[in-house]
């Protein structure tokens, strides 16, 4: 029997609006077809969140035709029909025999499709930054008469400004982030294994908040003494001890959209150094939030943080955050010196103020924020403190 359409995270009109923006960009770039192979961009344009992109797949957006064509592996085609707004006639499955075959793969099917549709002699945009060099060579070799244009991050830049519907989904994800962080605060105690806290956090991220379950479990980072000077190391097999400091980064997920949050925990009284660092971060966070409003540049927000932070006697080498949405980090704008991206209403960022001072000492705090007409709204609501346990 055919699979039914599942409930959609967004109405059809929302996806058509997103596609219209992409098509405008395609006209500007003088291309007739755009091959979208980045999984997060496919999510943006269709609603598909199935993690099948470890084998070739791609969405072909054509200037002609209302819906894009999704070409993917046979065993994943029913998921595409169920999850996305596009009609089954625009979901094309390539055979399972292509998998594990070292002579041909799903990209050949996509190239065949471009030939069949008469697009092989037109302008074709490709996200080269997302393709292996071998796949890129295949496209160039098998489309010798196309005018191929590198469209890396073209769709990613379009999705930097969210719709109100996307913001609503991100608010749901933010509430999940808050719930998971508070769950960590409830359970961390000396003698417990780090893995047991991860179990609780992962559980909270799945169970969700306000009746809305998490639809994914994003990476959870828990760096405890003596690993607080590391930024992304996985949890260890160790137990918590009196005096341990714990840095946690986590993110709630709804329909592919992640909302990140970082907080620092201390079992027992925080050291004087940790308190001084925290105070400097809070002052820097206030200054950064104060700076956020439409019309200013990303660098202005970073510099507001850096200036205040340095007055407190500290220095942070890493950027102060990045655009955030589908799949967590969006590789577009960053809060850092020199990034002149202009803030616009409905952009969302992870204002990431984590700092790793010494190999064995770091501190984390962050908020996920929304640029509003008036300035800024902080989406995450967890108290901005060192959690003393």
Angular region, 224: left φ>0, alpha ψ -120 to 50, beta rest? beta
At its nearest, how many Å lie between its own copies and the CB of residue 293? 21
| Cβ–Cβ < 8 Å for 146, 120 | yes
Residues recorded for the chain: 389
Return the closest-CA partner of residue 94 out of 79, 113, 81, 122: 113
Nearest-angstrom CA–CA distance, 201 and 187: 9
Q: How many beta carbons lie within 10 A of that of residue 64, not counting itself?
A: 9
Nearer to its own copies by C-beta: 253 or 377?
A: 253
Task: Please report the DSSP string for 341-384 in residue order.
Answer: PBP-TTBEEEEE--EEEETTEEE--EEEEEE-SSSEEE---S-S
Q: How many beta carbons lie within 10 A of that of residue 356, not counting itself?
A: 19
At its nearest, how many Å lie between its own copies and the CB of residue 20? 27
SS3 (DSSP) at 332: strand
Nearer to its own copies by C-beta: 65 or 229?
A: 229
Nearer to its own copies by C-beta: 96 or 388?
A: 96
At its nearest, how many Å lie between its own copies and the CB of residue 199? 4
Nearer to its own copies by C-beta: 88 or 117?
A: 88
Nearest-angstrom CA–CA distance, 365 and 273: 15
At its nearest, how many Å lie between its own copies and the CB of residue 231? 4
Nearer to its own copies by C-beta: 209 or 371?
A: 209
Nearer to its own copies by C-beta: 23 or 142?
A: 142
Nearer to its own copies by C-beta: 117 or 207?
A: 207
Alpha-carbon dihedral sign for residues 46, 48, 51, 56: negative
Nearer to its own copies by C-beta: 7 or 242?
A: 7
At its nearest, how many Å lie between its own copies and the CB of residue 208? 6
| Cβ–Cβ < 8 Å for 200, 183 | yes
At its nearest, how many Å lie between its own copies and the CB of residue 344? 18
At its nearest, how many Å lie between its own copies and the CB of residue 204? 8
- Name 370's Cβ contacts closer than 8 Å, sequence gap at least 6: 167, 170, 346, 347, 348, 376, 377, 378, 379
At its nearest, how many Å lie between its own copies and the CB of residue 201? 9
């Amino acid at each position: 029997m055919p699979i039914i359409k599942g409930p959609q995270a967004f109405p059809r009109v929302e996806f058509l609006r997103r596609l219209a923006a992409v098509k405008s960009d395609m006209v500007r770039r003088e291309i007739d077809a755009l091959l979208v192979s980045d999984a997060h961009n496919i999510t943006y344009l269709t609603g598909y969140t199935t993690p099948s992109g470890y084998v070739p797949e791609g969405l072909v957006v054509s200037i002609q035709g209302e819906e894009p064509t999704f070409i993917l592996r046979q065993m994943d085609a029913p998921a595409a029909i169920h999850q996305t707004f596009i009609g089954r006639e625009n979901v094309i499955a390539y055979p399972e025999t292509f998998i594990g075959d070292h002579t041909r793969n799903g990209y050949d099917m996509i190239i065949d499709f471009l030939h069949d549709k008469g697009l092989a002699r037109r302008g074709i945009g490709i996200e080269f930054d997302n393709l292996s060099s071998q796949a890129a060579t295949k496209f160039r070799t098998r489309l010798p008469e196309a005018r191929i244009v590198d469209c890396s991050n073209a769709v990613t830049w379009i999705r930097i400004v969210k719709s109100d519907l996307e913001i609503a989904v991100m608010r749901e994800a933010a509430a999940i982030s808050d719930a998971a962080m508070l769950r960590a605060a409830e359970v961390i105690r000396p003698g417990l294994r780090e893995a047991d806290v991860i179990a609780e956090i992962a559980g909270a991220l799945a169970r969700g908040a306000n009746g809305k379950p998490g639809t994914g479990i994003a990476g959870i980072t828990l760096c405890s003494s003596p690993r607080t000077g590391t930024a992304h190391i996985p949890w260890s097999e160790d137990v918590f001890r009196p005096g341990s400091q714990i840095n946690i980064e986590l993110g709630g997920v709804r329909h592919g959209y992640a909302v990140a949050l970082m907080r620092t925990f201390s079992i027992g009284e925080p050291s004087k150094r940790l308190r001084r660092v925290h105070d400097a971060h809070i002052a820097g966070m206030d200054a950064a939030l104060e700076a956020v409003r439409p019309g200013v540049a990303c660098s202005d927000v970073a510099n507001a943080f850096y200036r205040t932070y340095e007055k407190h006697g500290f220095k942070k080498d890493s950027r102060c955050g990045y655009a955030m949405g589908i799949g967590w980090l969006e590789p577009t704008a960053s809060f850092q010196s020199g990034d002149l991206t202009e803030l616009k209403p409905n952009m969302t960022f992870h204002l990431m103020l984590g700092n790793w001072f010494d190999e064995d000492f770091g501190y984390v705090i962050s908020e996920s924020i929304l640029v509003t007409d008036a300035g800024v709204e902080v989406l995450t609501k967890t108290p901005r403190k060192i959690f003393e346990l």
